Amino acid sequence: MFKNAKVLVTGGAGFVGTNLILRLLDLGAQVTATIHKKEPQIKDPRVAFIRAELLNAADCEKVCAGQDYVFMCAANTSGAGVMATTPLVHLTPNVIMNVSMLDAAYKAGVKKFCFLSSNTVYPLTDYAVKEEDCIDEFYEKYHIVAWMKRFTEIVCEMYDKKIAKPMKTCVVRPGNIYGEYDDFEWATSHVIPALVRKVAERQSPLEVWGDGKDLKDFVYISDFIDGMLAAFEKIDGYDPINIAGGNSVTVRDVLGHLMKAAGYEDAQVKYLTDKPTMIPKRLINIDRAKRVLGWQPKVAIGDGLARTLAWYQAHPLAVEKK
């Protein structure tokens, strides 16, 4: 599907965008990628990087022109601290970017548009959520970001099913993705890259936000890219699907794997229960992806964390260059 296809990846300097570009190049695609303030994390003459402001409709139209497929990986993201104190930073910029890119892609005659949604669109549950469990009820701390994601899902459905000349859309609901080229900046990183950096730097005490007992679903980046591309290829039109790890682990489990991989098992760990944390339990059902896509994660959490730590240790200046 992707060999010689013209594929646009927005957010080409970001975590998912970078890994997606590398995979698309391996598949023989002609890749164009947008960057904004940050420089690309990879240098490859086969990639046409375009600096663009996706809040600007004209820039969106410029980058979509002539493309076969669009992967919307650009987003305004942050960690738990920002989300807890200033959640509106996720609202307006992301809504404008998402809607502007869908509009531009449609005008450009793009064949298919992929949107990376979020597992925040599910309510807090004691069971593993399936795709049909999205009932527009959200965990309170996620209310704003969840509605932003859910609104864009609905707009994708409009383009795919509610107009006379539709554009096919693909909506993927990821677990918590981690791996190489992640965001390791303190202000914006999520839980795994933050812990990777603290373990790699052998911080003492090693501070962890919350009590470490939150249950989360983590999926390694290569597995996620496999699942996203399988969904894009095999699902014909709007029909959201979970691409996740399928097994939930605690933050303490994650830290244990990282300390073992780093040979830092005697670390003095301090849990900061007064710091902001997010959803206390997230279980995600991936049965549909297994059945419809023939996909399931290949990389166990311990192996994925060891690979991520090794990558970070081999790229000590990566965080400084961003």
Q: Where are the domains of the chain?
A: 6-321
Phi, psi of 40 (to 5 degrees): -60, 150
The strand ranges marked E within the chain are 6-10, 30-35, 48-51, 69-72, 112-116, 168-174, 176-178, 206-209, 215-220, 241-243, 248-250, 269-272
- CB within 8 Å of 132: residues ≥ 6 apart: none
pLDDT score, position 90: 73
pLDDT at 79 over 50: yes
More confident residue, 317 or 120: 120
Distances, alpha carbon 294 to alpha carbons 85, 171, 286, 300, in Å: 40, 17, 11, 18
Write out pLDDT tens, residues 239-276.
999 999 999 999 999 999 999 999 999 999 999 998 87
Give mean pLDDT, residues 131-140: 94
CA-to-CA distance for 195 and 182, rounded, in angstroms? 12
Query: What is the pLDDT at residue 188?
Result: 83
What gap in Å lies between CA 54 and CA 33, rounded to an integer?
Answer: 12
Per DSSP, 130 falls in state P
Q: What is the pLDDT of residues 99-126, one digit of tens each?
A: 999 999 999 999 999 999 999 999 999 9
Per-residue pLDDT, 322: 44
Instruction: Please tell me the pTM assigned to this model.
Output: 0.94
The residue among 285 and 78 whose pLDDT is bigger is 285
Q: What rounded mean pLDDT belongs to the chain?
A: 93
Burial class (CB in 10 A: 0-12, 13-18, 19+), 270: exposed
Q: In the predicted model, what is the mean pLDDT of residues 289-317?
A: 95
Percent of the chain with pLDDT over 70: 94
Domain at 6-321, CATH from 3.20.20.70, 3.40.50.720, 3.10.180.10, 3.20.20.370: 3.40.50.720
